[in-house]
């Protein structure tokens, strides 16, 4: 159990276009999901906390109008990178918190975004 999927696994887009990434918890419900970004040779950096049915909470320095997060159901959160630019190229990873009282998060496999 505790499987999290992401789609797509990789995407290449032109500068100025928008890209949507989906994160699904396959065998459990998650009222809270998280979005991370990882640049080469660096650690994961938390971008935002996605709460089902309410607005996401963004970390300092993350533009909420550029990285749109929607958590429409207990098993799905989406991250849309709007007007993507080459500096947005990164590895985007989501996680879902399985609420067993210990805040255990399970991560998706990640989405590699390359903006040309």
Partner 1 sequence: DAKTTQPPSMDCAEGRAANLPCNHSTISGNEYVYWYRQIHSQGPQYIIHGLKNNETNEMASLIITEDRKSSTLILPHATLRDTAVYYCIVGGSQGNLIFGKGTKLSVKP
Applying CB under 8 A, the residues found at the interface with partner 1 are: 2, 4, 6, 32, 34, 36, 43-46, 49, 91, 93, 95, 97, 102-110, 112
Taking the least distance from each CB to partner 1, the nearer of 6 and 75 is: 6
For residues 79 and 92, the answer to whether their CB atoms sit within 8 Å is yes
Residues contacting 51, CB < 8 A, separation 6+: 31, 32, 57, 71
Q: How far is the CB of 103 from partner 1 (least distance, A)?
A: 4
Residue 111 CB neighbours (<10 A): 22
| Helix ranges (DSSP H) in the chain | none
Q: Least separation, in Å, of the C-beta of 77 and partner 1?
A: 14
Please identify, using beta-carbon distances, which residue of 16 and 109 lies nearer to partner 1.
109
Shortest approach of partner 1 to residue 60 CB, angstroms? 12
């Amino acid at each position: 159990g505790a499987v999290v999927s992401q789609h797509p696994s990789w995407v290449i887009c032109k500068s100025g276009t928008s890209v949507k990434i989906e994160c699904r918890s396959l065998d459990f419900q998650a009222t809270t999901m998280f979005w991370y970004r990882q640049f080469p040779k660096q650690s994961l950096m938390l971008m935002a906390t996605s709460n089902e049915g309410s607005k996401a909470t963004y970390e300092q320095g993350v533009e909420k109008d550029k990285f749109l997060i929607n958590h429409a159901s207990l098993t799905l959160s989406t991250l849309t990178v709007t007007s993507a630019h080459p500096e947005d190229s990164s590895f985007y990873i989501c996680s879902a918190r399985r609420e067993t009282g210990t805040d255990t998060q399970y991560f998706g496999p990640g989405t590699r975004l390359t903006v040309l």
